[in-house]
């Protein structure tokens, strides 16, 4: 179990470097430093901010634990360990934690009393590969990606043969029905809705690009053209800000794209970035998971606010 003392030793600061590549990036910046809140991970992922409790949940996948950072005290402790190699997390409209369990190959919801509700664990009677990242839409549907990272080796899951014919993107209805909504990905990963939830962006890590889909009839995806290509490593987690700009985790930091797909600028980070989220009362507090570390900084822009 981690103690506040263990965590305090890891808190330090590194310069925050915003790199403008387009005049439309403007005065996008924030703190002059990145604060390292935690530095003892093996591969950190899945940050999800709980505004009611003022805390952040994030995953340390190979160490099979979900951690919790308390904003009021700065302490980090184990929320769940073992944790079935949880990868992506999100907070639903009711304030509950939704997680992608790579070990159990399922998507779950943690209820207020701590019990676990399984939202999806099979498609057409076959087990998923290893659910990776997840978002919720205002209509109560849950959308998630299912690459094979958790079954390829025992490093962040349990090595196993895939039961499905590929790595797809799925939607879970409030009724529990699971439907494949995109089946032409190689390794689908991060995903994020536009502020009006009419567009869904999905990263394909193996192909090193982001695709843009139109949400049709609130249930299905249409189009799916390539929106942006990565120029440093590959894309992982995605988020959209209040201006509709798409931010993507990459090997050198966070890349910012215009709604048209133009690379506007970057926030450079000293480790490979896996994922990030907007938190704080005004969604202007960035939390970044990058290889071994959890970083944070206050910025002068805001994350997207979604319909309730």
- A 10 A CB-CB count for 41 gives 24
As a whole number of angstroms, the distance between CA 34 and CA 13 comes to 6
- For residue 114, the domain's CATH number is 2.120.10.30
Task: Return d(Cα 129, Cα 127) in angstroms, integer.
Answer: 7
How many other CB atoms sit within 10 Å of the CB of residue 282? Answer: 12
- Please count the structural domains in the chain: 1
Strand 106-110 relative to strand 97-101, pairing: antiparallel
Residues with a catalytic annotation lie at 236
Q: What is the pLDDT of residue 11?
A: 63
| Residues 69, 58 contacting (CB under 8 angstroms) | yes
Tokens encoding 260: 């048209």
Tell me if 4 is assigned to some domain: no
Query: pLDDT means per 10 residues in the chain (308 residues)?
Result: 43 93 96 98 98 97 98 97 98 98 98 97 98 97 98 98 98 97 98 98 98 90 97 98 98 98 98 98 98 98 96
Determine the structural domain holding residue 216 and report its residue range: 12-298
The owner of tokens 């995109």 is 182
Separation between Cα atoms, residue 203 and residue 303, nearest integer Å: 19
Closest by CA position to 304, among listed 242, 214, 247: 242
Give the pLDDT score at 218: 74
Contact 89, 98 (CB under 8 A): yes
- Whether 238 is in a domain gets the answer yes
6 within a domain of the structure (yes/no): no
Q: Tell me, yes or no, whether 308 lies in a domain.
A: no
Instruction: Return binding residues for substrate.
Output: 132, 156
Distances (CA, A) of 193 to 51, 78, 163, 173, 307: 20, 30, 29, 17, 11
Strand-pairing partners, residue 89, are 99
Give the distance, in angstroms, between the CA of residue 184 and the centroid of all CA atoms in the same chain.
Answer: 21
The pLDDT of residue 65: 98
- Dihedral sign for Cα atoms in the order 258, 187, 268, 87: positive
Residue 7: inside a domain: no
For 110-179, give the DSSP string: E-TTS-EEEEE-EETTEE-S----EEE-TTS-EEEE--SHHHHSSSSS------SSS--EEEE-TT--EE
How many other CB atoms sit within 10 Å of the CB of residue 169? 27
Does residue 154 belong to any structural domain of this protein? Answer: yes
At 171, phi and psi to the nearest 5? -125, 135
Q: Is residue 77 part of a domain?
A: yes
Which residue numbers belong to the known binding site? 45, 132, 156, 189, 236
At 115 the pLDDT is 97
| 230 close to 209: Cβ distance less than 8 angstroms | yes
Residues making up the annotated binding site for a divalent metal cation are 45, 189, 236
In a domain, 306, yes or no: no
- CA angle, 76 then 77 then 79, to 5°: 125
pLDDT for 217 equals 84
């Amino acid at each position: 179990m981690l103690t506040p003392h263990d965590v305090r030793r890891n808190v330090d600061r590194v310069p925050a470097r915003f790199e403008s590549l387009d005049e439309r990036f403007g005065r996008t910046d924030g703190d002059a430093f990145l604060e390292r809140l935690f530095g003892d991970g093996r591969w950190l992922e899945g940050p999800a901010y709980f505004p009611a409790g003022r805390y952040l949940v994030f995953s340390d996948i190979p160490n099979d634990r979900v951690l919790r950072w308390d904003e009021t005290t700065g302490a980090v402790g184990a929320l769940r360990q073992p944790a079935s190699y949880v990868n992506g997390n999100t907070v639903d409209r009711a304030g509950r934690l939704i997680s992608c369990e790579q070990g159990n190959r399922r998507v779950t919801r943690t209820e207020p009393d701590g019990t676990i509700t399984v939202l999806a664990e099979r498609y057409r009677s076959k087990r998923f590969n290893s659910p990776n990242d997840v978002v919720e839409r205002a209509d109560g549907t849950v959308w998630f990606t299912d690459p094979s990272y958790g079954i390829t080796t025992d490093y962040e899951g349990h090595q196993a043969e895939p039961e499905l014919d590929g790595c797809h993107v799925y939607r879970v209805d409030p009724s529990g029905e699971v439907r494949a909504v995109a089946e032409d990905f190689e390794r689908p990963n991060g995903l994020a809705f536009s502020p009006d939830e009419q567009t869904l962006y999905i990263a394909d890590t193996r192909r090193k690009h982001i695709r843009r889909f139109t949400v049709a009839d609130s249930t299905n995806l249409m189009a799916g053209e390539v929106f942006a290509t990565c120029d440093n490593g590959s894309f992982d987690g995605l988020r959209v800000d209040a201006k509709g700009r798409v931010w993507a985790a990459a090997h050198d930091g966070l890349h910012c794209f215009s709604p048209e797909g133009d690379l506007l600028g970057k926030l450079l980070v000293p480790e490979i970035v896996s994922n990030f989220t907007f938190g704080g009362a005004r969604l202007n507090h960035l939390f970044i998971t990058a290889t071994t570390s959890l970083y944070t900084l206050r910025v002068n822009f805001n994350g997207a606010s979604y319909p309730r």
